[in-house]
Amino acid sequence: MAENRRGSRAGKADKLLPYDFVPFAETAYYPYQKPGTENRPDGRGGDLPGHDCRQNDKLSGFIEYTLTPYSDLALEIRQRLGGGYFMSGSQIRGRVRANLEILSASYPEFIDTTPLLYRDLTGKHSKDYRERINPDSEQRGIEYAVQAGFLVKEDDAFYIIPAPKIGEKYFLSIKEHRLLQMGMAQPGKCFRSLYCWEPEMLERFRQLQEQIDAFTKTIKMLRARLKSALQPIEGKIADKFRSNYGFQQRLKNILYDIRAKKNYSLPDELAGFKRKLLAELRPVGGQGNVEEFFQKLVDRWGLKAELYISYQQLRKNRDFRPYQQKVFLQKDENQGIIKISYQTGPEPAYLFNSTNASSKRSHYLVLAPGNSGSLPESYKVPAHVIAAYRRNLDKFRQTDKNTSVKEFYNIFEKYDEVCRQNNALAGLIVFFQQEQGEVRHVGRTPYFKIPYRHQLTTLLGRREPEKVDYAGALFGFVAEKTAAEPAERQAQAGLITAYKSRLRFTPVDIEPGDTQTPDLHKPPLQPFLLPTPRASACAMYLEQPAGGDLQTYEQLERPRLNGYKYYHIFPPTLKKGKPENWLNPGMLSNKPIIQRDSVKLLRGKIYFHNLTQAELGLLLLSLEPKQLLKTRQYGPQAEQYRCELEQAYDLIGGAKPYGYGKVKIEVRKLELEKSGCDFASLVLDTEEIIAAGTWGEYIDTFIAGMGGSKYFDTVHFRQYLQSKLELPDDNELITWDQLPTKIAEEKSSQVGYPKHWRLQRIGKKH
């Protein structure tokens, strides 16, 4: 048997990729309550610092800092009118905010919490997926559970007009060889074949289909005759076929051997599978003589398996494009399709196909609206369903080969254009599910993506809507960023929904190096392959126990997120591959590259207003973790981290996965304005330079307020420092340039990382 010639993949494969994670704090820390919060157990009023004149018990002033480059930089810089160069302070603001959020156990604000959607037809969660999308999947197919309809637009709203049923089904799936035998391949029509066909192959498919149809007729009669005996075990029979004898699972080694051009007998291989299948069906039981029924099921399975393998041997039509084609059809009394024509017929309908996925063999047939009596009223598509669809479409990685596919799927943003391109006078064909008249899911295929059982919003934990963390208090927030609760709760009496930042980052001046070139403000662009890893890659983004099963977002048990993603810091800048060797040039990004020797130093300031001592300490620590050594109370404890603190780097700008943007940040000066609203403070505006030796007092105040010594474990300080250290040279890293080739070597048809890969975690044993 083919399955015995190739051993299964053993164990898991840990892969060191360009990124890792710093764990989240167990719970977010909120030092403030929003003004107007009512019925608080501590009875305190809102205590967020104000933005008015300088307050006596608060600190205002500025911090001057420098960045020393240790690698080439991928930065957008500008030239001043009077000479010199600078870059926007926002490029540093984001880095400092990310550090501050981790160090203060703030709620993870800038984690993309777009709903995670999935579609699993053959993998580990295929049964869960099919049951969620079709609870009756053991008995009936997808055509009974997912509705087909026509998307129409009125003003700025979208509605779905359900298509009439075809018998008890919402639509029909028709294999391509049957459509070709009906004469659908005609010049000038939108119908496009998924495969390239030869006449003799089409004839072989016709013969196989006739035999399958004959067995189906016999099985139907036997099922009716043995109804009482089969009814209790139908689910077990269906599960046996689905779980153990799905074609992609059971026949994958045969297909591998075919593609490797190995010599073997396909009839002998299938005969062996059929014997095993029959032996596994017999113990299922059933009263009465069900042996003949089992045998017919097995024989039909063998013919369908041969048909499946034959499809896999066909050559894909690389010129395939999605289409929506109007046709006319003729049905028999059992709702079976007798004939499909382009010219005329009893019932108008549409042939439809949205993609030529690797295992796809069928096209869809949908009746035109308004042909089978009165239709249910149309369903309005809710705004949140449209938003989720659009966000998911944004993740579609467009290349030159699939541009037309993405355009075909862009049904909301470019509705009129897609209708015009497909001559869709009745609307765009979509598939959907609704509950009590509300559309819950919509897609261009009946196997649309559905939300995982666990979402990032729940795994991250609940944000306290009445409270404010340090990141929100220092950098400000707006309603859209804090709306973890319904809008009506956010808008309760007196509860603020927006707050202005008390920090201002100035433009960062660039001091040119000795080898400065005249074109520093217009550096040369270099191409990079920069894929964007997403949280849907559960093997990488979820904690994976050593030697355990893969943790996923769909499992019953609540998984744990790895934490904040960061890119490794490399000793040298990584060598990029050549563009002609990249497998997906559509994912290239061009970045301006500034040579390290052309920049001596970058110097900037952060102006702050009405900070508490703890907030100022946190800001200093977020800029330069080495400041921890200057603290009185926690400096001795920090000695265990001295080596890491002195070697800590940060990454700024673009192309981080290639080692660009490595800098050391140092705090050079701290100046405080004289506090108060008195005349002297407002007019004289005196300033006081604070000696570096006393800065640690502010950090001590911050750490004490966070719980003292236990603070370091609370925010996973050691792992945070690990994210700032250079990666040792002896690691076998898979760079972004290498990734497409490494995935291709696995001979995996899966999009993204191979399923057996796990992220190798730095500093964690597996």
User: In this structure, are residues 431 and 146 in contact, taking their beta carbons and an 8 Å threshold?
Assistant: yes
Query: 621: closest CA among 603, 635, 600, 636?
Result: 635
Assign 571 to helix, strand or coil: coil
Residue 94 has pLDDT above 80, yes or no: yes
Residue 43 has pLDDT above 60, yes or no: no
Q: DSSP letter at 675?
A: P
Residue 704 has pLDDT above 70, yes or no: yes
* Alpha-carbon dihedral sign for residues 130, 135, 141, 142: negative
CA distance 312 to 317: 12
Buried (b) or exposed (e) across 584-605, using 16+ Cβ within 10 A?
A: eeebeeebbbbbbebbbebbbb
Name the phi and psi angles at 310, rounded to 5.
-65, -40
Query: 45: closest CA among 496, 719, 351, 547?
Result: 496
Q: pLDDT tens-digit profile of 252-305?
A: 777 777 766 777 778 888 888 899 999 988 888 766 678 899 999 999 999 999
Mean local confidence (pLDDT), 479-485: 48
- pTM of the complete model beyond 0.75: yes
Query: 542: closest CA among 438, 660, 447, 452?
Result: 452
Mean local confidence (pLDDT), 8-15: 60
CA distance 621 to 604: 16
Of the listed ranges 366-375, 434-443, 599-608, 708-717, the one predicted with least confidence = 366-375
For residue 611, name the pLDDT band (cuts at 50, 70, 90): very high
Q: pLDDT tens-digit profile of 104-144?
A: 999 998 888 878 888 877 677 777 888 888 877 656 788 99
Query: 314: closest CA among 415, 430, 197?
Result: 197
Q: DSSP letter at 41?
A: T
**497 compared with 557, residue with greater pLDDT:** 557
Pairing of β 757-759 and β 13-15: parallel
Query: 14: closest CA among 745, 532, 734, 718?
Result: 734
Write a three-state SS string for 411-477: CCCCHHHHHHHCCCCCCEEEEEEEECCEEEEEECCCCCCEECCCCHHHHCCCCCCCEECHHHHHHCE
Upper half-sphere CA count for residue 308 (Cβ side, 13 Å):
19
Q: pLDDT tens-digit profile of 504-533?
A: 999 999 988 876 555 666 788 888 888 888
Query: 573: closest CA among 589, 554, 594, 603?
Result: 594
Which helix (H) or strand (E) covers residue 69, if one does?
Answer: strand 59-69
Both ends of the chain: CA-CA distance in Å?
Answer: 35
Which helix (H) or strand (E) covers residue 480, if one does?
Answer: helix 479-482
Q: Where are the beta strands (DSSP E) in 214-373?
A: 315-316, 323-331, 337-341, 347-353, 362-367
Task: List residues bridging with 347 in a β-sheet.
Answer: 329
**Left, alpha or beta for 476 (phi > 0: left; psi -120 to 50: alpha)?**
left
Residue 488 has pLDDT above 70, yes or no: no
| Confidence at residue 372, expressed as pLDDT on a 0 to 100 scale | 46
- Within 10 Å of residue 86's Cβ, how many Cβ atoms? 18
Residue 39 has pLDDT above 70, yes or no: no
| Confidence at residue 231, expressed as pLDDT on a 0 to 100 scale | 84
For residue 483, name the pLDDT band (cuts at 50, 70, 90): very low
Q: How far is CA 96 from the centre of its chain?
A: 25
Query: 299: closest CA among 417, 394, 217?
Result: 217
CA distance 127 to 121: 8
| Confidence at residue 682, expressed as pLDDT on a 0 to 100 scale | 47
CA distance 88 to 482: 26
At residue 137, what is the residue type? S
Which residue bears the tokens 């009223």?
377
User: In this structure, are residues 448 and 441 in contact, taking their beta carbons and an 8 Å threshold?
Assistant: yes
Assign 316 to helix, strand or coil: strand
Residue 38 has pLDDT above 80, yes or no: no
**197 compared with 113, residue with greater pLDDT:** 197
**Left, alpha or beta for 114 (phi > 0: left; psi -120 to 50: alpha)?**
beta
CA distance 18 to 479: 34
For residue 748, name the pLDDT band (cuts at 50, 70, 90): low
Write a three-state SS string for 374-394: CCCCCEECCHHHHHHHHHHHH
CA distance 596 to 523: 12
Q: DSSP letter at 595?
A: -
**533 compared with 764, residue with greater pLDDT:** 533
CA distance 246 to 359: 12
| Confidence at residue 137, expressed as pLDDT on a 0 to 100 scale | 62
Which pair of tokens denotes residue 399? 């290349």
Buried (b) or exposed (e) across 224-247, using 16+ Cβ within 10 A?
A: eebeebbeebeeebeebbeeebeb
Q: pLDDT tens-digit profile of 385-433?
A: 898 888 878 776 655 455 667 788 999 999 999 998 888 888 999 999 9
* Alpha-carbon dihedral sign for residues 110, 103, 468, 48: negative
